[in-house]
Amino acid sequence: MGAVAKYELGQGAREKLGGFARILRANGFAVGLGETSDALKIMAGPCAERPSLLRPALRALFCGRQSDWRKFDEIFDAYWTRRGMKSAVIASGAPRKPAAGLRPSLSGAPGGAGEQAEAARGDGEVAAPGKGRSEGASQRESLALTDFRHLTEPDQLAATHELAARLAKNMRARLTRRMRARRAGPKLDLRRTIHKSIAHGGAPVELAFRRRKDKPLRVVVLLDVSGSMNLYSSLFLRFMHGVLTHFREADAYVFHTRLVHISEALRERDAQRAVERLTLISAGVGGGTRIGESLAAFNRWHARRVIHARTCVMIVSDGYDTGSPEHLGAEMAALRRRCRKIAWLNPMIGWRDYAPVAAGMRAALPYIDLFGPAHNLASLEALEPYLAKI
């Protein structure tokens, strides 16, 4: 057998595939970081030469349900070949009327949440000169794919902050709908059905069902605000503000050389005031990092109060710890025994040729359920299918 040809994927191809994954997630596909990583491997092979080869490979990877198979071909044609387009799910950014059953992407893809928000303002508002809806959508998509460390202009930072808050809000809305759909129990409650039938002469007109009461998803976020994370921490604080504003059960902390509980400050409705309060309570931000000691403080003083059976703990850090790796490993093991899942988001995963070689990161890896990138808004959006399964 001959060797399988491999191709070097450029930045454009990676962004194109990332946009396709976002479109699929917006249309109900369970596409996460693992599926996207496998799709990159497919794109690096000979299947990328022709759509006729790429389509069945991606279909087999992304479609896990019969409903996915029915929608996949139309979405694929609209995005990759621009044929049979019945919706705004296209790569060029030209707005079109969405088709029934297809929902555009959340984070800035054409026709996404930003464009829906513009439409909701009413016909009385006119777009700014030189900036039509398609241009605005393209700018939002570009910001969603831009590494946070490359955002330097004040208007870019402000727009990214707005997108981060919107992402948290829409993520919460979709996760809530999924949890409500599961609450329709399959078991008939015979006793309550008989009780209800008394009013109808004994006829079981109204059926009552028994269903297990699910605890709502709780998200606990621990953000590294040390000097090595300085380029990312401010934007993550904006995302965390959106999480605490829109998630019914959420808790937030920052850590550097010590742990600081910031949930109360982040619940300020005004994001700017929230950041100002954080500046006052988080003395020492930007110094070194003691992840093990910070986790020890969380496990001792907060874990019992904020963690239950459906809690996902998100740790956002580059893994550079000035403390003992053994201490960090022990505290990660203790945290893993308490919560449902641990997701460690590392912005450096989005960098080329990154490997988790730091001693602290290697000590934490055995206890992590999801080790994913967190360098742009698109990587945060990819968390949604993972959260939906908790």
- The mean pLDDT value of the chain amounts to 74
Residues 223 and 365 in one domain: yes
In 3D, which of 325, 165, 327, 319 has the Cα closest to residue 255? 319
Domain boundaries, position 189: 185-210
Q: Locate 120 and state its tokens.
A: 């909701």
Q: Which residue, of 81, 115, 149, is where some domain finishes?
A: 115
Residue 4 forms part of a structural domain = no
Q: Is the pLDDT of residue 175 over 50?
A: yes
Residue 174 forms part of a structural domain = no
Residue 315 forms part of a structural domain = yes
Quote the CA–CA distance of 291 and 317 in Å, as a whole number: 9
Task: State residue 282's pLDDT score.
Answer: 60
Residue 364 forms part of a structural domain = yes
In 3D, which of 387, 390, 382 has the Cα closest to residue 36? 382
Strands lying side by side in the sheet with 370-373: 259-261, 250-255, 218-224, 311-316, 341-346, 370-373
Residue 6 forms part of a structural domain = no
How many domains does one find in the chain?
Answer: 3
Task: State residue 112's pLDDT score.
Answer: 37
Lowest-pLDDT range of 34-43, 144-153, 339-348 = 144-153
Task: State residue 309's pLDDT score.
Answer: 83
Residues 206 and 227 in one domain: no
Quote the CA–CA distance of 63 and 205 in Å, as a whole number: 39
Contact between 389 and 312 under an 8 Å Cβ cutoff? The reply is: no
Type of residue found at 369: D
Task: State residue 199's pLDDT score.
Answer: 72
Quote the CA–CA distance of 341 and 354 in Å, as a whole number: 24
Task: State residue 316's pLDDT score.
Answer: 95
Q: Is the pLDDT of residue 289 over 80?
A: yes
Q: What pLDDT digit, counting tens, does each position of 105-123 carry?
A: 333 333 333 333 333 333 3
pLDDT greater at residue 203 or residue 119: 203
Residues 26 and 71 in one domain: yes
Residues 300 and 250 in one domain: yes
Q: Is the pLDDT of residue 137 over 70?
A: no
Lowest-pLDDT range of 14-23, 181-190, 236-245, 347-356 = 181-190
Quote the CA–CA distance of 61 and 365 in Å, as a whole number: 26
Q: Which residue, of 87, 115, 143, is where some domain finishes?
A: 115
Quote the CA–CA distance of 62 and 183 in Å, as a whole number: 26
pLDDT greater at residue 306 or residue 212: 306
Quote the CA–CA distance of 124 and 118 in Å, as a whole number: 11
Q: Locate 89 and state its tokens.
A: 């799910």
Q: Is the pLDDT of residue 149 over 70?
A: yes
3-state helix, strand, coil in the chain (%, to 5): 55, 10, 35
Residue 181's pLDDT band (boundaries 50, 70, 90)? very low
Task: State residue 366's pLDDT score.
Answer: 95
Contact between 339 and 332 under an 8 Å Cβ cutoff? The reply is: no
Type of residue found at 76: F
Q: Is the pLDDT of residue 246 over 60?
A: yes
**R_g (Cα) of the chain, nearest Å:** 23
Choose the most confident range, by mean pLDDT, from 141-150, 235-244, 291-300.
291-300
% the chain with pLDDT above 70: 70
Residues 232 and 263 in one domain: yes
Cα–Cα–Cα angle for 142, 144, 146, nearest 5°?
65
Task: State residue 135's pLDDT score.
Answer: 52
Task: State residue 186's pLDDT score.
Answer: 62
Point out which residues pair with 370 in neighbouring strands.
Answer: 343
Check which CATH number belongs to the domain holding 267 and give it: 3.40.50.410
Residues 279 and 336 in one domain: yes
% the chain with pLDDT above 90: 20
Taking the mean position of all CA atoms in its chain, how far away is CA 187?
A: 33
Residues 229 and 99 in one domain: no
Cα–Cα–Cα angle for 45, 47, 53, nearest 5°?
170
Residues 189 and 301 in one domain: no
Task: State residue 217's pLDDT score.
Answer: 77
Residues 255 and 342 in one domain: yes
Residues 199 and 258 in one domain: no
Lowest-pLDDT range of 90-99, 123-132, 136-145, 328-337 = 90-99
Q: Which residue, of 97, 115, 133, is where some domain finishes?
A: 115
Residues 224 and 197 in one domain: no
Q: Is the pLDDT of residue 286 over 50?
A: yes
How many CB atoms are located within 10 Å of the residue 9 CB? Answer: 15
Task: State residue 313's pLDDT score.
Answer: 95
Residue 126 forms part of a structural domain = no
What average pLDDT does the segment 371-380 reach? 86
Residue 334 forms part of a structural domain = yes
Q: Is the pLDDT of residue 263 over 50?
A: yes
Q: Is the pLDDT of residue 375 over 60?
A: yes
Residue 120 forms part of a structural domain = no
- Predicted TM-score (pTM) of the model is 0.59
In 3D, which of 371, 318, 380 has the Cα closest to residue 342? 371
Contact between 381 and 107 under an 8 Å Cβ cutoff? The reply is: yes
Residues 223 and 368 in one domain: yes
Quote the CA–CA distance of 213 and 297 in Å, as a whole number: 32
